[in-house]
Amino acid sequence: MKNALFALMLGLSCVLATADESNWTSKRGLFVVSYQSELQPLQINQLHAWVLHIEDAQGGAVIGAQIDVDGGMPEHDHGLATKPRVTEELGNGDYLLDGLRFHMRGFWELELTIVANGKSDSVLLKVTL
Amino acid sequence: MKRIGIAAVIAAMFFAGWYHWPTSPRPWTDADLVVLESLSLGNLLPLPNDPTNAVADDPRAAKLGHALFFDTRLSRNGGISCATCHQPERKFTDGRAKGQALGMSKRHTQSIVGTAYSPWLYWDGRRDSQWSQALSPLEDENEHGTNRQQVLQLIADDPEYAASYVELFGALPGLQDPAEVNAAFANVGKLFAAYERILQPGPAPFDDYVAAVVANDKNRQVALFSDDEVVGLQLFIGKANCTQCHNGPLLTNNEFHNTGVLAAAGELPDKGRAAGAREVLANEFNCAGVHNDASQPDCPELEFMRTGAELIGTFRTPSLRNVAETAPYMHKGQLATLRETLEHYNDAPDAMIGHNEAKPLNLRSGELRQLEAFLFTLSAPLAVDEQWLRAPVRE
């Protein structure tokens, strides 16, 4: 499973280099985050992984970041079904975020708290299924 | 004064009529079709492999598991089998608020049907596989009240069971070495699971109706569903918010939610998943334990499992397949009928512990009746050969 995922993520990393993904700027503007889901399109009730790509404000890949993940559905006042976490740094500003599962259709928020190069900032990713 | 009285009576009659009057169906939209198809049994994914159980798909294991499932000798008093509470004629439930075996169970008996698709078992998800779940009632004082040594002794003493066991797993162990006993006991759980994996729901009138909507076959739609059932379905996928949790072809997300159900009379509120999450992590038969048959154990469900106070008072969403046949409802069987259950969600009361995720629906009485009518369309015989739904005939 891990090997297969890693191979998949390497493939996705290549896609990321050229894909025109949405970019999410962190609250203080220190980081810009994009993501690519292993599940295309996103589906409910399936455990899956994303590749996060993190750049600094100048567009440089952020290396060695510590990333905490939280989130939920604000409309229903509940959190995520699982406790996803970054399990691997893939290089070139890419990080494997594993263990995601959305168990309802609707509007979700994922908050990433990123610490890198002695600086901390958070970013809110908005996802609608 | 008299005129005001007459006007008040007319207004009251108008309100009562409006409150109880059914809503009319509206045409289906393309967006509806996407949702309807997502709920149809035809879109159920193939049964997932269970690498933790090497005999999960072995017909010999299913046959032995079937025999054990109905065998009342697997109990302290010789009178209790799995089928005592999981009755095939009731879609593997028992019609009681709480299971009644040697004593009374702590919670309402859940159906086994379709649970091979769930990462979690029990209302609180305190087990993470069908096989680990099947072991718990055997040693529960209020359920079978036996123990692992006695279970293995029974298998050893029954020539047919013993021969099948040896064929599948090798020699039965002596009963002195706890590690060997535990491994063999886990094997017994895997036999039950091989049988339980077979128990899947069959296509219901709802599924036929969805096919007719997709095919735009109006005559067939009318033949299959009354107007009330159509509106009930439209409420189900619409403003009643049912598909927030009852989604996918099994009409469950198998996740944990607090819907503000009152504690059972005379009991403290049940902590639900908050306690179940701790228990599954500690369980000796969980995916991460030594009894996992996978050559490279991989337990993403446990690895990424959520824990903590947020889960207080949350319970696993049950499948709504055959829901009209599996009353009463909720984790302690607190709600006797479908109507009571719908009224509960319509009111969405504050939770006793944690917080109710659901919001009041403000549906009218007529709409609740239509929603109830729709729920009856989810009943169907299981997609299982009849032979699996009764005790096997021993030769």
ipTM of the complex: 0.85
Task: For CA atoms A59, A63, A68, A72, give the dihedral sign.
Answer: positive
Distance CA B285, CA B148 (A): 13
Gap between the Cα atoms of B327 and B338, Å rounded: 7
Name the residue type at position A35: Y
Q: In the predicted model, what is the mean pLDDT of residues B52-74?
A: 98
Which of A44, A45, A83 has its CB closest to that of B305?
A: A83
In chain B, the percentage of residues whose pLDDT exceeds 90 is 91
B347-357 tens-digit pLDDT: 999 999 998 99
CB contact under 8 A, B245 and A104: yes
Q: Is B325 on the interface with A (CB under 8 A)?
A: no
User: In this model, does residue B4 exceed pLDDT 80?
Assistant: no
Closest CA to B99 of B148, B137, B139, B151: B137
Buried b (16+ CB within 10 A) or exposed e, A39-71: eeebebbebbbbbbbbebeeeeebeebebebeb
User: B247: nearest CA in chain A?
Assistant: A104
Structure tokens at B236: 């189900």
pLDDT of residue B16: 67
Tell me the β-bridge partners of A24. A33
Domains, chain B, ranges and CATH?
24-46+203-272+312-378 (1.10.760.10), 59-199 (1.10.760.10)
Q: Is B246 on the interface with A (CB under 8 A)?
A: no
**Residue B274 Cα distances to A103, B125, B302, angstroms:** 18, 10, 14
Of the CA atoms within 13 Å of residue B51, those in its CB half-sphere come to: 9
Calpha distance B282→B266 (Å, rounded): 29
Q: Do B253 and A103 touch (CB under 8 A)?
A: yes
- B282 by Cβ neighbours in 10 Å (0-12 / 13-18 / 19+) ranks as exposed
Tokens of B351: 């939770």
pLDDT in tens, B197-217: 999 999 999 999 999 999 999
The first and second tokens of residue B269, run together, are: 């509120």
Residue B59: pLDDT over 50: yes
**Torsion from C-alpha of B387, B388, B390, B395, nearest 10 degrees:** 60
Looking at residue B229, what is its pLDDT? 98
Asked if the Cβ–Cβ distance from A105 to B244 is below 8 Å, we say yes
- φ, ψ of residue B87 to 5 degrees: the values are -90, 120
Distance, CA of B16 to CA of B21 (rounded, Å):
8
Kindly list the domain boundaries of chain A, sorted by start residue: 2-128
Indicate the average pLDDT of chain B: 95
Q: What is the dihedral of CA B53, B58, B59, B61, to 10 degrees?
A: -50
Rounded average pLDDT over B83-97: 98
How many other CB atoms are found less than 10 A from the CB of residue B63?
17
The number of beta carbons lying within 10 Å of the beta carbon of residue B127 is: 23
Q: With a cut of 70, which residues of chain A have pLDDT below it?
A: 1-21
Distance CA B368, CA B240 (A): 9
On whether the CB atoms of residues B315 and B163 are closer than 8 A, the answer is no
Q: Is the pLDDT assigned to residue B8 strictly greater than 80?
A: no
Q: Which pLDDT score is estimated for B18?
A: 63
3-class DSSP state of B348: coil
Per DSSP (E only), the strands in chain B are 256-257, 315-316
Put residue A99 in one of left, alpha, beta given phi > 0 → left and psi -120 to 50 → alpha.
left
The beta-carbon neighbor of A80 closest among B245, B257, B306 is: B306
Quick: pLDDT tens for B320-373. Answer: 999 999 999 999 999 999 999 999 999 999 999 998 999 999 999 999 999 999
Whether A2 and chain B come into contact, CB under 8 Å, resolves to yes
Taking residues B112-121, what's their average pLDDT? 98
pLDDT at B165 over 90: yes
What is A2-128's CATH number, 2.60.40.1080, 1.10.287.3610, 3.40.190.10, 1.10.3720.10?
2.60.40.1080
* For A104, nearest residue in chain B (alpha carbons): B244
State the helix-helix crossing angle for B205-214 and B227-236, rounded to 10 degrees.
90
Q: Would you state the pLDDT for residue B21?
A: 73
DSSP letter, residue B329: B
* Interchain CB distance below 8 Å, B357 and A106: no
pLDDT of residue B1: 56
Q: Is the pLDDT of residue B24 over 90?
A: no
* pLDDT value of position A30: 97
- Which of A44, A47, A78 is closest, CB to CB, to B300? A47
Q: Which of A76, A82, A106 sits opposite B304 (nearest CB)?
A: A82
